[in-house]
Structure 1
C-alpha cells in the first residue's frame, strides 16, 4: 500500500471519487456535491484554510487502486483552546480493512505531531460545526445536506486505534403534523400578550434586513461558544444569499423584542432530498432544473433545521417555545412538509436536548466526535457541559 499526498487535479479527482466505489451498493448513500467538498480546501472559499496547515492523502493498493483517503488540518481558532494543542482529521473514507485505516490515522498523527499538536479530533470539518462533523454510529438513514455518512465499520476503526468519544451528537426528527403539547400554547399565549415581542418569517424582498438581523443574533448567541468566531457582514451576506435559491420564506423565522432581533429558527427544504441525490456530485443544468421542479411541485417533504437559538438575555423566558409554536401552526396550515430534521445537538448541551424532546422530537441519528491524545498516559476529558 502507498500513501500519496493530494497535490494535483488528478489526485483531487481520486480523492473525490473514492466514495463512489465504497458505497456503490448502499441505497442510503447520497454523494455530496464535489464543489461542497472542494470548497473546504481553498482559502477563497474557506477562511479557516491555510495551505501550510492542511494536507490530504489518498491510499492506494498494489495495483494502484484508491482504497482510502483522509485530510489532516489545524484550525488556528480552536487548536489551542484545550489542555493539549489539538489538530483535526476529516473526510476519512476507507475500504473495510483496519490496516489501511490505521495507515491513514498514523500519517495524520505524525503530520500533526510535527506541527506541534498533541491530540487530534475527528472526523470533523475544517470550519464550523454544522457541516461534515462527527462519525455516524446509529441511524444509517440517507444523510442530510453536508452531513457525514459512513460505513458502520468505521466506528471500530476509530475506537480500535485509540480514539475516545469527546462528545455525542444527536440529530432529532419531528413529525410536523403533530400538534404541540397544550402547555406550549399557554407559554406562547403569554408571550403574545407582551406587545414588545413579535415573530415573522423571512421576506426575500427585504433580504438585506434579515441578513443584518441574522448576524446580530448569531454574534450575540454563538460567538462565545468554543471554536466559534464572530461572523462578519460579508460572511453573513454570503451565507444567506447562498441559501436564497432554495429558501422557503415560510420556514425561516425571526424573533424580535422592541423591534430588535433576538432569535431565529431557520430551516430550508432538505437539499439532499430536493436535488443533491440526483446530481452524482455535479451541479449540472439538468440538476438545477430538477431543483426548481421539485421546489415548485412541493416534492420535498422534509425540512432541515439549520440553526435555532435565542440570545442569552431572552433565554428561559418562553421565547424559544413561542417561536416554535408560531412555526408549528404555520406548518400545520400549509401542509407542505411532513417532518423536520434538526441540525445536531451535542450531549454537552442538555438544555437544547430538553427543548427538542419537549416538543416531541426523537433522536433519529447519532454521530460521535472522537479525540485521540498523542500522550497515551495523559488524562482524557470529555467536552464540558454548557
Structure 2
C-alpha cells in the first residue's frame, strides 16, 4: 500500500531533496541541483507564479520508505487550448504501478481544480529551468536542466502521456570551422559602418538590460506563448547573474546606437556545482570561488539568441556569431558550446543551429496527458 504525504514540514522538505540523491547515487552523470535552488521554486515569497497559481508537493511511501515524489500545480500564466495543469520534479523507482499511482494522484488533484489536461515534467516557473524529460543523451546535465533515468520515458508513455513537443540541445566545438554561410555574412556586414558588435560588460548592466529587453520583445514576444519582458525585471535578473557573467561570451549587435541582435551565453555552472553536493553554505561559497579560480570550465551554454524582424535574413546572425567566436577563442578557456534547448516547433532557430554545424547531443520531451481520452491529441503548433 502506498501512503501519500503532502510536503509541509522541514523533514518532508528535506526528504523531497534527499530522495533523488539516493536514487541516483550510483549514476556517474547525475549532478545534484542546489537544494536552495529547488526550495526557492516552492517558496511563495520568492516565486512570482504563486501570485497567479497554486502548487503542492507530495511524497509517496511504501513500507515507510520513499518510492516517489512529485510537484503538481496550476498557473494562469500557462495558457493552453484547454485548462492545463503541470507536474514536475517527478522521481520514482523503476515500477510502473508506483508511477501510475503518482500520475493518478496528480490527475485527481488537477481535475478538482478544473483542469482538463496535465503537462510534464515541467517547472512551476519559466521554461528555462527544469523543463522536460530527458529521452536521449544521458550525459551530465546543464545547470537547471532536468536529468532522469532512461526508464522514466517508459513510465510516462505507458501511463498514456504523449509528446507535446521535443526539446533539442545542439553542441559544437568552439574551435570547429565556422560555416562559410556565416563567414560570408560577416564579411558583408562588417563593411557597413553603421553595424557594430559589443560584448556585455558588467559595469554597464543598465544599458545591456535595456538593449536585451528591446531585442527580445521585438524578436520573440509575439511568438506562440511568448510574453513581453519588462526592463526593470531584466535588470534585476542581470544583477543576480553578475557574479557568473563572462564578459567575453555574450554579444549585442547595433545599427548605429540601436540594438538589433543579441547572443547570450553563460558558463555551465554545473561544471563547478557538481562538486558541492547540492549545498551552498559558507564553506561551499568559498569552495566555489576556489573552483572558479583553479578549475577550468570548458563548456558555455547558449541561453538566448535573437534578431529583430527587420534585420532577419540579412546575415546579422552570422556577423554576430563570427565576431563573438573570434573574440572568445582568444580570451576564454571554453572548448564546447551547447545551445540550451530549442523546441521542435521552432524551425527558424533549428535552422540557425544546423547552419552552425552543430549536432543534437540530447533531447528532452514535454509530455501531455488529456483527461478526456477520446479527445484528439495535437502537438505544439509550429512557430512561423
Query: How does the TM-score come out when normalised to structure 2?
Result: 0.96
Equivalent residue number for residue 69 of structure 1? 69
Q: Distance in 2 between matches of 1:292 and 1:254?
A: 28
Q: Distance in 2 between matches of 1:335 and 1:42?
A: 37
SS of the counterpart of 1:356? helix
CA contact 1:222–1:228 (8 Å) conserved in 2: yes
Q: Distance in 2 between matches of 1:314 and 1:51?
A: 36
Residue 177, structure 1, aligned to residue 175, structure 2: yes
Aligned residue runs from structure 1 range 215-226, under 5 A: 215-226=213-224
Equivalent residue number for residue 339 of structure 2? 342
CA contact 1:128–1:228 (8 Å) conserved in 2: no
User: Residue 351 and residue 227 in structure 1: after superposition, are their counterparts in 2 closer, same or farther (change >3 A)?
Assistant: closer
Unaligned runs of 5+ in 2: none
- Report the alpha carbon displacement of residue 233 of structure 1 after superposing the two structures with TM: 3.1
- Report the alpha carbon displacement of residue 249 of structure 1 after superposing the two structures with TM: 0.4
Q: Distance in 2 between matches of 1:85 and 1:197?
A: 46
CA contact 2:200–2:252 (8 Å) conserved in 1: yes
Aligned residue runs from structure 1 range 101-116, under 5 A: 101-116=99-114
- Report the alpha carbon displacement of residue 342 of structure 1 after superposing the two structures with TM: 1.0
Equivalent residue number for residue 329 of structure 2? 332
Aligned residue runs from structure 1 range 11-26, under 5 A: 11-26=12-27
Residue in structure 1 matching 2:380, options 363, 379, 383: 383
Alpha carbon RMSD of aligned pairs, Å? 1.5
Q: Distance in 2 between matches of 1:350 and 1:132?
A: 23
Unaligned runs of 5+ in 1: none
Q: Distance in 2 between matches of 1:8 and 1:297?
A: 39
Q: Distance in 2 between matches of 1:314 and 1:293?
A: 43
SS of the counterpart of 1:251? coil
Deviations 1:317-356 (A, max 9, x none): 1111111111111133235111001100111111211111
Q: Distance in 2 between matches of 1:360 and 1:169?
A: 18
Equivalent residue number for residue 191 of structure 2? 193
User: Residue 295 and residue 59 in structure 1: after superposition, are their counterparts in 2 closer, same or farther (change >3 A)?
Assistant: same
CA contact 2:299–2:338 (8 Å) conserved in 1: yes
CA contact 2:53–2:76 (8 Å) conserved in 1: no
Equivalent residue number for residue 152 of structure 1? 150
User: Residue 214 and residue 108 in structure 1: after superposition, are their counterparts in 2 closer, same or farther (change >3 A)?
Assistant: same
Q: Which moved more, 1:210-219 or 1:238-247?
A: 210-219
Residue 137, structure 1, aligned to residue 135, structure 2: yes
Residue in structure 2 matching 1:269, options 267, 270, 283: 267
Q: Distance in 2 between matches of 1:59 and 1:223?
A: 39
Q: Distance in 2 between matches of 1:23 and 1:199?
A: 44
SS of the counterpart of 1:317? coil
Equivalent residue number for residue 29 of structure 1? 30
Q: Distance in 1 between matches of 2:44 and 2:254?
A: 35
Query: How does the TM-score come out when normalised to structure 1?
Result: 0.95
User: Residue 77 and residue 36 in structure 1: after superposition, are their counterparts in 2 closer, same or farther (change >3 A)?
Assistant: same
Q: Distance in 1 between matches of 2:45 and 2:317?
A: 36
CA contact 2:70–2:102 (8 Å) conserved in 1: yes
- Report the alpha carbon displacement of residue 311 of structure 1 after superposing the two structures with TM: 2.0
Residue in structure 1 matching 2:314, options 299, 314, 317: 317
Q: Distance in 2 between matches of 1:29 and 1:35?
A: 18
CA contact 1:348–1:385 (8 Å) conserved in 2: yes
Equivalent residue number for residue 252 of structure 1? 250
CA contact 1:77–1:227 (8 Å) conserved in 2: no
- Report the alpha carbon displacement of residue 51 of structure 1 after superposing the two structures with TM: 8.6
Equivalent residue number for residue 10 of structure 1? 11
CA contact 2:141–2:147 (8 Å) conserved in 1: yes
Q: Which moved more, 1:132-141 or 1:308-317?
A: 308-317
